[in-house]
Amino acid sequence: MASASLLLPLAGSSVAVKFSNNYEITRGRPRRVPAKYLSLGLRAKASQSVGYGYEDDMALIKRRDVIGIGLAITVSASSLLIQSLNAKAAGLPPQEIPRLCDETCEKELENVPMITTESGLQYKDIKVGSGPTPPVGYQVAANYVAMVPSGQVFDSSLEKRQVYIFRVGSGQVVKGLDEGILSMKVGGKRRLYVPGSLAFPKGLTSAPGRPRVAANSPVIFDVSLEYIPGLDDEEEE
């Protein structure tokens, strides 16, 4: 700890700063103070204790008092900063996460029958497409919103503003997503209820504002099949 000790200004008194060379500055003028007064740590009038005719009271504060005041100021400053941040946050609208299925879609989805495959994958068609179905091994372009069962989004191509292109049926994505897209048609939208055995065997770590995905835990994918690059090229020829 440095030898200089700061005496914070008190209400109704002058500013006093104590240095290691036994000087005090009051109202900007240095005054030499006997060492015995520096060691007492008592509050005394300058005119009575030092004898230099000070007009204001001089405060000699114990080291523990200085520490207490410092802590109080730190806590107060932290509180003000938090309040300021909260005020700014309160003025901002809540962040809207883009979805493939909005509130109206969610209500309609309640009446859509659930289909369960032999692997345990379950799905509901939000919209049945009118285009071709992707052959195994072909590249597909899809949008997706990946969620934990509570509905919290942990990944989304919509937020990245870029379709996700991968080779379907080749193990480039989790098994449940692979299987679910293979039976879709271009232009279709589907909600996939992926069991843990077809999801992420090692799980996914959490990211800022994103939930953690535990290993072998169920997840939900809303997916739309946009187009099939290779198949579209062949059809054009």
Angle (CA) 115 121 127, round 5°: 50
Per-residue pLDDT at 232: 59
State yes or no: pLDDT of 191 exceeds 50: yes
Of 44-53, 114-123, 126-135, 153-162, minimum mean pLDDT range: 44-53
Is 207 in a helix, a strand, or coil?
Answer: coil
Per-residue pLDDT at 75: 43
207 confidence band (pLDDT: 50, 70, 90): confident
pLDDT per residue as tens digits for the range 145-165:
999 999 999 999 999 999 999
Q: What are phi and psi of 231, to 5 degrees?
A: -70, -40
87 confidence band (pLDDT: 50, 70, 90): very low
Q: Are strands 115-116 and 57-58 parallel, antiparallel or unpaired?
A: unpaired
Per-residue pLDDT at 141: 97
96 confidence band (pLDDT: 50, 70, 90): confident
Residue 213, burial from CB neighbour count under 10 angstroms (0-12, 13-18, 19+): buried
> Using CA atoms, how far apart are residues 53 and 55, in angstroms rounded to an integer?
6
The answer to whether the pTM exceeds 0.85 is: no
> Using CA atoms, how far apart are residues 199 and 184, in angstroms rounded to an integer?
19
42 confidence band (pLDDT: 50, 70, 90): very low
pLDDT per residue as tens digits for the range 1-41:
444 333 333 344 444 444 444 444 444 444 554 554 444 44
- E strands within 33-91? 44-45, 57-58
State yes or no: pLDDT of 166 exceeds 90: yes
Residue 196, burial from CB neighbour count under 10 angstroms (0-12, 13-18, 19+): middle
> Using CA atoms, how far apart are residues 109 and 105, in angstroms rounded to an integer?
6
Would you state the structure tokens that stand for residue 89, as one six-digit string? 């946050």
pLDDT per residue as tens digits for the range 73-82:
444 444 444 4
Mean pLDDT of 188-210: 95
Q: Which residue has the higher pLDDT, 172 or 57?
A: 172
Nearest to 121 by CA among 30, 20, 199, 186: 199
227 confidence band (pLDDT: 50, 70, 90): very high
